[in-house]
Structure 1
Amino acid sequence: MYLRSLLFCLACGIGSTAATAAEPAPQQSAQKPGFSELVPGVLSFSGPATTVLLLQTSAGSLLVESELPKTRDALLQALDAVSKEAPRYVVNTHWHLDHSGNNEALAARGSLIVAHVNAGRRMGEDTYLKHLDKMMPAMPAAALPAIAFKGDGTLRLGGQPVQLIHIPRAHTDGDLLVHLPAANVLHMGDCFFNGLYPIIDTGTGGTVDGMLAALDRGLALSNPGMKIVAGHGPVGGQVELQAARDMLAQLRDRVAVLKREGRSRDEVVAAQPSKDLDARWGQGWVKPAQIVGSIYDSLPR
């Protein structure tokens, strides 16, 4: 059972304002995986699926994302190399397995798993993953969030705030942006695909308008020196985040015009509204037909 009460959250250092599935990834590390310094006090681990962050403080550490199950040994060894203790918290930005796949192993070491209630609910039940056309089985109870909350939340560790910002109906319906203001770092999860067309998981509440809202929120938090971590693609900054936002807004508007004209999904995909963008953005796993179709599906009638 999730520990959702505000009293529990406050006792653990989290205050709420209201209180997955594997995705093929474009990045691969040619070197032996390990943590490297992103900024002082924040380390990054570039796994086969996503970028994992480790915040180190005098009061313990916090991990953002837990990667795919196949990365378990490499991730645990990398953690052991930089810390004598397991992370106090592990934050999942959403439910997909490439961001939560080693929750159970980390919980067994004593870490508390933290996620939005919608992400926790989807982890705990069989869930259809539309973009892979696959049913993802429920995770074991030990992998589920110990702390699941609604709205936004804040963890405090070693005097440093970790802001957890929920964006409704973006990549999924349970996305969190993780802002480390003292370190000037923002982890966007899969609300930001750097240099790539994004996945919009319309089967579990994702929408293009929510994705744009997430990118706008990230930009509002950003500054020219900020490190902005993408769910997929390299670590970027304000310029790359703005480019991703501009591309998605442009493509959203093009698809919306065609849909308002009464064209079917197949007709809109066949019209290739992304054609002039594909050379730059469509070279990853998400191809033009998929992003156009997902935008079409998530736009209002």
Structure 2
Amino acid sequence: MTTMRDHPATVAVVGAGSIGGSWAALALAYGLTVHVADPAFGVEERLRVTLPAHLGDLGSGPEAMDRLRVHTDMTRAVAHADLVLEAGPERVDLKRTLFAALDGATDPDVVLASSSSGFGPSTFQDACRHPERVVVAHPFNPPHLVPLVEVVGGRLTSEETVAATMSAMTLLHRRPVRVRAELPGHVVNRLQAALWREAYDLVRRGAISVAELDLAVSSGPGLRWALLGPIATQHLSGGPEGLAHVLAHLGPPMVEWWSDLGDPALTPELVTELVEGVTNELGGREPDILARRDRALVELLDLKDRHGLGSLDPQAEGVAR
């Protein structure tokens, strides 16, 4: 049985968009050599402008860029990689073509990980001669700052591949979670979609404006969710009996709320209302707000670690202390 490489020294990133560039910065910041492949014109010039800012977010200096190599030929980029991170367009036909080519250009003990936000590996891994080393490692934007990575194995993915991917993500200081079922959107995007569905419907009903809805979440439950997950948060609200008390007393009304949740259609009118609402809310300040959000993310992650809330794993630093 092939032993998968779980401590990569060289990473290949296929696709240099926002996700791929962020992956590249993360690997550079933690001392790895990075080969980026993208056929688009001007990719290297763009990366050499954007990646130093990402590295700065991570406390890494511009000298890390010395370990970056940019290619238009994908096979050259992946030839000596210990780990391949695919970050191409979200099209299953393209992923099948990409992974068949990646499979032919790499050693069989190299993990081929897709950043797909919704496809499971089973939809494209059978295009490979070695489908057992194909997995999804779904990050959250921006991957160099947000530590969560969903690791999803497919029908033909080996346990060794899943374990190696979890190990590689931990090496990159990510917090991987294993998703044990292939579902459209994996787990966290489904949770986001559930919130967005109700948020859009509340705006459609006229119950609240876009700006006030964003404020309500970011100034209310969003503050708690940034520190603990929704079920742990609910448990802590139940006093000494915790979640058992909450479900006994608030569970029945919640079931009634479920029956009233919306199922909106994305009509042109609703799309216009949402777009106009968020455009007015941000007032053309998107670049500045994005930069400030990313700086706040760095500070929030540091704050969580200092208070032992970076992970509830009892072996995690901060909790163990």
Q: In which range does the TM-score fall when normalised by the shorter chain? A: 0.3 to 0.5
Structure with bigger strand share is 1
Q: In terms of Rg, which structure is larger? A: 2
TM norm structure 1:
0.37
Taking CA–CA contacts closer than 8 Å with sequence separation of 6 or more, which of the two structures ends up with the larger relative contact order? 1
Structure with bigger helix share is 2
TM norm structure 2:
0.36
